[in-house]
Structures are given as C-alpha cells and as structure tokens.
Amino acid sequence: MQPIELTCPRATVTVLVAAGAYELFEVDAPRGPTGPPHAAPWPRAYYVLRGRMAAYLDGEIHDLGPGSALPVPPGAAHTFTVHTPSVQFLAVSLTDAMGRFLREADLAPPGTVREVAARHGVTVAGWPS
C-alpha cells in the first residue's frame, strides 16, 4: 500500500498501514493547540517520534516527548497541544474506523465536518449533540 496523506485543520495525517483490523498513521502537527477535546468510539494509542506535546486525556495532562506512548480508550475526551516547533507521532487504531472518519473528513465540503463527525460517532466539546 502506498501512504495516503490526509489534511486535517491543524495536522497532516499519513496513512501508513490500513490492514482492516488495525491502522497505523503518522501525524505531523505544528506548534499550538490542535482543537477542542473530542471523543471517538474507537481505541487508539500514540507514540511520539520527535517534538513535545501536552496531551489532554479525560481531565489529565500528559507531557509527551520522543519515546513516550499514550493509550486513548474509546469514548475518552482528548486533544493535544504542541510545545515545540512541530511534533511527529504515530497513531495506531485497533479498527479501521479512524481511517474511515479521517478519509471522509478530508474530502468533506467546508462547513460539513460536524455532520461527518456525527456519522462516525465522534463528539466534540462545545458542539451540540
């Protein structure tokens, strides 16, 4: 499989492996916050390759640098803020749900991301249900 690059509002996500039962993504994000806390119905884990970020996960802040890992359980509110010029990390999803959501969001017309999120069971803090 050739890597597939997807653009999110505050990051570039490259699909490295899409094997159905799991997926592997490389995430590159610039300094600053990436968005409001959100929750998704699929489990995933992050592994930082370079840079530093503070990850918010269910009310706790985790300082993550190279070699740090953080599991994100299904339904857990999470987001992250990049503290270095950029951060690069791997995201492993234990289903193909994250990839399906990101691919649809990447192609969504402006102003329709809320509908895409709702179709995939993603909830975002501050958005009406």
pLDDT per residue as tens digits for the range 64-94: 999 999 999 999 999 999 999 999 999 999 8
8 A C-beta contact, residue 72 and residue 57: yes
pLDDT per residue as tens digits for the range 5-54: 887 778 999 999 988 788 999 999 999 998 889 999 999 999 999 999 99
How far apart, in whole angstroms, are the C-alpha atoms of residue 7 and residue 52? 21
Q: Does domain 4-124 have CATH number 3.30.70.270?
A: no
Q: What is the pLDDT of residue 14?
A: 93
The beta-strand segments (E) located in 35-103 are 38-39, 44-50, 53-57, 60-64, 69-72, 78-93
pTM: 0.90
Average pLDDT estimate for 110-126: 88
Query: What is the identity of the amino acid at 55?
Result: A
Query: What is the identity of the amino acid at 84?
Result: T
Query: What is the identity of the amino acid at 44?
Result: R
